Structure 1
Amino acid sequence: MLRNKRIKSDMKTKTLLAALGVCLLSACTTTENKFHVGEALDYCNRQVERTLSRLHDTNGVVDYTMMPRNILNGQNDWNCRKATKEEWCAGFWPGVLWYDYEYSGDKRIKEEAEKFTSSLEFLSRTPAFDHDLGFLIFCSYGNGYRLTQNPVYKQVILDTADTLATLFKPQVGTMLSWPRNVELFGGHNTIMDNMINLEMLFWAAKNGGNPYLADIAISHADKTMKYHFRPDYTSYHVAVYDTLTGDFIKGVTHQGYADNSMWARGQAWAVYGYTVVYRETKDCRYLDFVQKVTDVYLKNLPEDYVPYWDFNDPAIPDAPRDASAACVVASALLELSTYLPGDKGERYRDAAIKMLTSLSTDNYQCGEASPAFLLHSTGHRPANSEIDASIIYADYYYIEALLRLKRLQEGKPVIG
């Protein structure tokens, strides 16, 4: 009898421990377990199909030089722009197609990606207009080469990296971002967006290009790290340097609220850019720095983890959001988290998933209303351009972030 009581007591204890284990497991469950990345990628695939069907005319003909750029508030279809050296966003749509092909394996998507990508080949033979060559070529040809190993793509990247390098001014130590705006800013201007274009230089230096390209990227990153940030690690949009001496003159904004404000997408470019620089150099200075840049961004986010277009706009909470900044940071954090073991890495990964969770709700997805992925991005608020719009670079970094999360969940390297 006593033995039976003991058995019942042991069984009760085991049941309680099992229940406690379930509770603990539930408590440890992050938003990752609630977010279904496959569903989000399926949604992106459907929207890509919708866009492609609209880009084909009634005879099935496509102008592969016309790239989706935005869907403005109140519209339901893409505004397309000609792929020219001035159209800095022309590489994102081909990049979206390559990412969708990577996910879907659909050969028809691959064929469309190839055709849109080829419209940008002329940039490898054209003098640099500005720093955006990385956006234009590495998002398109870079992803294309990664997935196909087409040697023609590799040569286009290498040639374009050499072209981008012509903007580097040794006396300053950075690339001249906007040659057309030297007079406007009163000197050699370097914008935070330029950090994203360093990746193509690093890649070229490792893949048959001039090793000096990596030196240019490091010099640019170092001087930007020194002068482009305030003591609290928020960033200026534009750093202006003396053209002759290279001395720092001032930090100003162009697309943010004010010279001393934290423009959301500018800070996002910094998080992404310095994550890449650490990846390519493994120099711990960059890993330490990017955490500081990231932490000031994260601590000022609203509850849904999608920032207002500028963190210091006095109109908050009635100011526009910028989903594109959230996409850029989510993608960067998923990579950055892999370089930081322990709680910090987990916190960054969890933050990225919270961003993707919000972006994947009806509050931010376009759904049936239009063929873009996301609503509520802000392009150039001071110029009243692309306010509360769907913008192609938001879609690009959204699908990139989703694919990175999928790889992590599968135990694969975050960079495919």
Structure 2
Amino acid sequence: MRITTIALLGILCLQACTMAKKFSSEPALNYSVQQVTVAAGQLHGYDSIPRSIAAGASRWSLVDYKDWTSGFWSGLLWYVYEYTRDTTWRNKADSFSRTLTPLAYNKAFDHDIGFQLYCSMGNGLRLTGDTSYKRILLAAADTLATLYNPQVGTILSWPRNVQMLGGHNTIIDNMINLELLFWAAKNGSPHCYNIAVQHANTTMQHHFRPDYSAYHVVVYDTVTGKVLRKQTHQGYADSSMWARGQSWAIYGYTLCYRETRKPEYLAFAQQVANVYLQRLGDEQIPYWDFDDVAIPNAPRDASAAAVTASALLELSTLVTDSATGQHYRQKATAMLAELSTKRWQSGKRNCALLLHSTGNKPNGSEIDASIVYADYYYLEALLRLQKLQQGKPLF
């Protein structure tokens, strides 16, 4: 039995490698444009923004600009514009992006300003050079910076939950919001650099177990900065490795190295990526939490795979060892190849790009659903892979 199992794993590994070598991003990109076209045709106005589609449903549930996912839809439209260069998509992306403008000037509701505005207007600025985006993004970075507590060394994640949680809470997701601060530091707000670096350093010190798996939430004493608790909000248990949380860590420390060139971030990005890949084994799409006792009868999370694939593609270009870089790129490509099969693509079942993401299982929310951030990072990863396949730089 053991020999048979080893042989089967070898076959699966060989199949994944073969799939990665043969995979071309173009059909999946064309499919993505088709799906987004259908979805866009169902929307009326720019103040209702797609978030998720429940299993078995066919239409997006909609949110307003305050929802933490509000920037992913316009970001998705910007990526469609980047691929097609059709100004129709540029105009739609611009209109949905500008709906989010109040977030830059209102008091920070939570840490997700980076997700909301850098994924939307950040892409808009990159693709158009429109300086009005720059003004809004700088204001957004200043608003995000108001959540920084120098006694703790991190940005507060949920201001509304400080009393409930009993302290200054920071979640691993917050690593992605540092990209806005790094950008702002280069574009007129140099103080944002030290905030981003200190947040990354404090998170690196307190947010990870000895095996480099991430805690979801760390709660600090607001006054002294002492760690009070390490727990989860969306994972299976406080001690478990929540798949999307680990993917945020891989992505976050990869971008930290890109922006700072600090070698400790590159080394750490590899360590948090390696434990994810080791636990993933020969599969491509993780269970929502690597430690759920219900495995193999637990839901998967396509969004974690999409985030990880995009991060690994960038990481593959940053590591100094070519064999390691090839390994990361091959694993990312295999993930995208699997996500691009009929099992994971929505096809005619709904107008999202992907099926089978898990939002917040402990809360019973968005389980086995299509979720907009899965689509965003899937399309981002496909565009990154296309650039690499064409011999172009990612940035």
What residue in structure 2 maps to residue 246 of structure 1?
A: 225
Residue 383 of structure 2 aligns to which amino acid in structure 1? Answer: L
1:54 equivalent in alignment to 2:33: no
Cα deviation 1:373-412 (Å, max 9, x = unaligned): 0000000000000000000000000000000001111111
1:226 equivalent in alignment to 2:191: no
Of residues 362, 369, 387, the one that matches 1:382 is 362
In 1, Cα distance between equivalents of 2:178 and 2:112: 10
Percent identity over paired residues: 56
Compare relative contact order (CA 8 Å, sep 6+) and give the higher one, 1 or 2: 2
2:365 aligns to what SS in structure 1?
coil
1:91 aligns to what SS in structure 2?
helix
Residue 82 of structure 1 aligns to which amino acid in structure 2? Answer: D
Cα deviation 1:236-260 (Å, max 9, x = unaligned): 0001111110011221000000000
How far 1:187 sits from its partner (Å)?
1.0
What residue in structure 2 maps to residue 260 of structure 1?
A: 239
1:188 equivalent in alignment to 2:168: yes
1:127 equivalent in alignment to 2:107: yes
When the two structures are aligned, how many residues end up with a matched partner? Answer: 380
1:260 aligns to what SS in structure 2?
coil
> RMSD of the TM alignment (CA)?
1.3
How far 1:147 sits from its partner (Å)?
0.2
Deviating beyond 2 angstroms after TM superposition, the runs of 4 or more aligned structure 1 residues are: 29-33
2:279 aligns to what SS in structure 1?
coil
How far 1:304 sits from its partner (Å)?
3.2
In 2, Cα distance between equivalents of 1:304 and 1:369: 24
* Structure 2 gap ranges (5+): 1-13
1:34 equivalent in alignment to 2:19: no
In 2, Cα distance between equivalents of 1:257 and 1:281: 33
Of residues 273, 278, 290, the one that matches 2:269 is 290
How far 1:158 sits from its partner (Å)?
0.6
Normalised to the residue count of structure 2, the TM-score between the two structures is: 0.94
In 1, Cα distance between equivalents of 2:161 and 2:272: 27
In 1, Cα distance between equivalents of 2:196 and 2:31: 36
How far 1:83 sits from its partner (Å)?
1.6
1:74 equivalent in alignment to 2:74: no
Q: 2:167–2:219: 8 Å Cα contact kept in structure 1?
A: yes
How far 1:30 sits from its partner (Å)?
5.2
In 1, Cα distance between equivalents of 2:279 and 2:151: 36
In 1, Cα distance between equivalents of 2:138 and 2:290: 38
Q: 2:78–2:124: 8 Å Cα contact kept in structure 1?
A: yes
In 1, Cα distance between equivalents of 2:256 and 2:316: 15
Q: 1:261–1:312: 8 Å Cα contact kept in structure 2?
A: yes
Q: 1:30–1:350: 8 Å Cα contact kept in structure 2?
A: no
How far 1:101 sits from its partner (Å)?
0.4
Alignment of 1:16-31 (within 5 A): 31=19
In 2, Cα distance between equivalents of 1:288 and 1:30: 29
What residue in structure 2 maps to residue 12 of structure 1?
A: none
Cα deviation 1:65-123 (Å, max 9, x = unaligned): 10000000110111111222xx0000000000000000011111111111111101111
* Structure 1 gap ranges (5+): 1-25, 56-61
In 2, Cα distance between equivalents of 1:71 and 1:166: 34
1:388 aligns to what SS in structure 2?
strand
1:351 equivalent in alignment to 2:339: no
How far 1:302 sits from its partner (Å)?
5.4
In 2, Cα distance between equivalents of 1:36 and 1:408: 11
In 2, Cα distance between equivalents of 1:65 and 1:149: 24
Q: 2:20–2:331: 8 Å Cα contact kept in structure 1?
A: no
Normalised to the residue count of structure 1, the TM-score between the two structures is: 0.90
Q: 1:236–1:259: 8 Å Cα contact kept in structure 2?
A: yes
1:202 aligns to what SS in structure 2?
helix
1:88 equivalent in alignment to 2:68: yes
